[in-house]
Amino acid sequence: DAGVIQSPRHEVTEMGQEVTLRCKPISGHDYLFWYRQTMMRGLELLIYFNNNVPIDDSGMPEDRFSAKMPNASFSTLKIQPSEPRDSAVYFCASRLTAGSEQYFGPGTRLTVT
Amino acid sequence: DAKTTQPPSMDCAEGRAANLPCNHSTISGNEYVYWYRQIHSQGPQYIIHGLKNNETNEMASLIITEDRKSSTLILPHATLRDTAVYYCIVSAGGTSYGKLTFGQGTILTVHP
């Protein structure tokens, strides 16, 4: 398996623009997680899905952030409108129900100017 | 989830064992100890986890004290590529979902 795939790997955008980050989990995994990492706050869980259903979105910072999982092999994290403080590395991870470890993707480095 | 305490940084000579400690004095009976690491600019990588028995895999060994209030991750023969941030996390595991809450971790530097 290719592992968790994220795109784009780097994104530079201007304040106010819409940003969409994409994730393809490992085939057969039924949990999907979105994290954000900054120097100030470290690695934070934003939201997670189980069987394509959002279970806990308490980590989503505000209404500008939204996440969807239309099917088992694809998820998106959207920021609209983007702000400079959204600049961070966003990681996607997946896991099996019966397994314990999460597998992380390579991340998307977002810069909002 | 129980909180963990780790030293902010440690050094280790290449080829020697690296012993990374973690305190988790408020751990509950159903909570596992997980270790992940993050090499610069990469996503976190799972290393090992355990409940109360010592565990070993191809990457590392995990030693958990009998009272489960602390643990040690052991990299038996550290290499330069083991330089990374190591996170000790306590969370419910197994077949039930456990939220992973990452702290600041320990920056391990392996030097020649």
Other beta carbons less than 10 A from residue B33's beta carbon: 26
Interface contact A103-B101, CB threshold 8 A: no
Other beta carbons less than 10 A from residue B25's beta carbon: 12
Interface contact B43-A4, CB threshold 8 A: yes
10-residue mean pLDDT profile of chain B (112 residues): values are 89 97 92 94 94 94 96 97 96 68 95 96
Residues of A in contact with B104 (CB under 8 A): 42
Q: What is the mean pLDDT of residues A94-108?
A: 87
Q: How confident is the model at residue A97 (pLDDT cuts 50, 70, 90)?
A: confident
The rounded distance, in Å, linking the Cα atoms of B64 and B81 is 25
Angle (CA) B46-B52-B58 rounded to 5° is 35
pLDDT (0 to 100) of residue B96: 55
Residue of B nearest to A55 (CA): B97
The rounded distance, in Å, linking the Cα atoms of B41 and B10 is 20
Residues of B in contact with A102 (CB under 8 A): 44, 46, 100
- Tell which residue, A113, A73, A63, has the closest CA to residue A94: A73
